[in-house]
Amino acid sequence: MQATAEVVIVGAGIVGASIAFHLTEAGCRDVLVLERETRLGLGSTGKSMGGVRAQFATEVNIRMSLYSIPFFAQFQDATGFESGYKPHGYLFAATSDSHLAYLKANFQLQSALGLRGAELLQPGDIVRMLPQIRSDDIVGGTFCPTDGFVDPYSVMTGFLGKAQANGCTLERGVQVTGVQANVGRVTGVQTNRGDVSCRTVVNAAGPWAALVAKSAGVDLPIYPMRRMLVPTEPFPGLPDRLPMVIDMSTGFHFRPEGIGLLMAWNDPGEKPGFQTAFDPAFIEKILTHAVDRVPCFADLQVNPGRCWAGMYAMSPDHHSILGPVPELEGFYCANGFSGHGVMHSPATGRIVSDLILRGTSDVIDGEMLSVRRFAEGRAIQESAVL
């Protein structure tokens, strides 16, 4: 393993990969990405649902999506690899006047920031999009046709492949055990395979980000939260371009996966912690919500052996923490995406690369997602979290 680098990125998931890509595209070629696993995609990236959307409730998340989604659409031109982007859309179905008012307010903000194609729906519109849905309590909704899904593993490998072609080095099976500093400035990292000298360290360690930060003497408010996903066996008869469907009454959502479905639901009983084992009892819970909203889902078949769990890296306000850490010069965060790491990976890579190389970014104001916001009372609450 090389002993010096200009930039060391801790973590080769989709976020670290995007940062490496954007740095090398901007001319910073001496980049070293360190991945603790011997194979790629074993962390949160490989276990993601892969959804991408611009239908958020806050300006910063909408702006990040407005950069990221067109990037996914042109991913092959940028990297030479496929992203698997499928613009099937996201369909939010509201079952109360308060939910509908919330969607309308979000729609107005999204439109004001430049999102095109999104539309407000009447109950009949939703039934036409998914005839099998139970609609007696649906009062309206929203749909955006450029929302959809990508293949997270393909995006990660595409970013890394192009970064490596640009001169970046990837080392697998390397555990970062500490961040070295002198007089308030990063000087390198300690690993299980020796020390690496550098002046810039990017923490892209996903749910383990707080542990990496702690080794640098930095308190990062990130915690892991398990999320479980349930794929189904083949289920014919649904629309060919079925969108991601979100039942706002429960948070249950699903999308097509092959010739079956991929279902998710945020279990309110879940507790923070490093848990990645799938709980078979979750299947009955999620199927209850599935059948309630789409009665024909009573015929869904699920193989527990094909289900899996991953971890969200949660921040206090459900927004990512990006950029430099005030108390340690040269230490940068790319953490706490709260389930939006895959969909915002292109914007994240661009923003962090910009902040490292220029100190500012055209995508967003870098201060919006600085870790300083918590101490300064500037937290940004995102309520559109799935």
- The confidence band for 317, taking pLDDT boundaries of 50, 70 and 90, is very high
Shared-domain flag, residues 216 and 284 = no
Q: Which range marks the domain in which residue 180 is found?
A: 7-50+152-221+316-375
Q: Per residue in 14-29, pLDDT tens? A: 999 999 999 999 999 9
C-alpha span between 37 and 30 (Å, rounded): 22
Q: Which two tokens stand for residue 228?
A: 């479980």
Residue 42 has pLDDT above 90, yes or no: no
Contact, 245 vs 255, CB < 8 A?
yes
Average pLDDT, the chain: 96
- Residue 140 is part of a domain; what is its CATH number? 3.30.9.10
C-alpha span between 5 and 70 (Å, rounded): 32
Chain Cα centroid distance, residue 57: 16
Q: Average of pLDDT values for 49-62?
A: 97
Percentage above 70 pLDDT, the chain: 99
> 189 forms bridges with which residues in the sheet?
179, 196
Q: Average of pLDDT values for 99-126?
A: 97
Shared-domain flag, residues 231 and 327 = no
Residue 385 has pLDDT above 90, yes or no: no
Residue 386 has pLDDT above 90, yes or no: no
Shared-domain flag, residues 156 and 302 = no
Residue 194: inside a domain: yes
Q: Which of 296, 314, 332 is the last residue of a domain?
A: 314
Using left for φ > 0, alpha for ψ between -120 and 50, and beta otherwise, residue 237 falls in left
Chain Cα centroid distance, residue 14: 9
Shared-domain flag, residues 236 and 303 = yes
Number of Cβ within a 10 Å radius of residue 97:
10
pTM over 0.95: yes
Q: What is the pLDDT of residue 384?
A: 66
Q: Which two tokens stand for residue 248?
A: 């706002």
Shared-domain flag, residues 327 and 349 = yes
Q: What is the pLDDT of residue 310?
A: 96
C-alpha span between 221 and 210 (Å, rounded): 7
Q: Which of 263, 285, 314 is the last residue of a domain?
A: 314
Tokens 């699920």 found at: 302
Q: What is the pLDDT of residue 252?
A: 98
Return phi, psi of residue 208, to 5°: -95, 10
- Give residues with Cβ within 8 angstroms of 12, minimum separation 6: 33, 34, 35, 40, 156, 160, 170, 172
Least confident of 1-5, 253-257, 275-279, 342-346: 1-5
DSSP category for residue 286: H
Residue 57: inside a domain: no
Shared-domain flag, residues 184 and 235 = no
Residue 124: inside a domain: yes
Q: Average of pLDDT values for 266-270?
A: 94
Q: Which amino acid is at 188?
A: G
Residue 381 has pLDDT above 90, yes or no: no
Residue 71: inside a domain: no
Q: Per residue in 64-76, pLDDT tens? A: 999 999 999 999 9
Shared-domain flag, residues 328 and 208 = yes
- Give residues with Cβ within 8 angstroms of 243, minimum separation 6: 88, 89, 90, 91, 129, 143, 147, 148, 255
Q: Looking at the 3D structure of the chain, how many domains does it have?
A: 2
Shared-domain flag, residues 159 and 240 = no
- Give the residue from 219, 208, 217 showing the smallest Cα distance to 181: 217
> 94 forms bridges with which residues in the sheet?
140
Q: Per residue in 332-380, pLDDT tens? A: 999 999 999 999 999 999 999 999 999 999 999 989 999 999 999 999 9
Q: Which of 291, 314, 337 is the last residue of a domain?
A: 314
Q: What is the pLDDT of residue 382?
A: 66
- Residue 215 is part of a domain; what is its CATH number? 3.50.50.60
Q: What is the pLDDT of residue 139?
A: 98
Shared-domain flag, residues 120 and 239 = yes
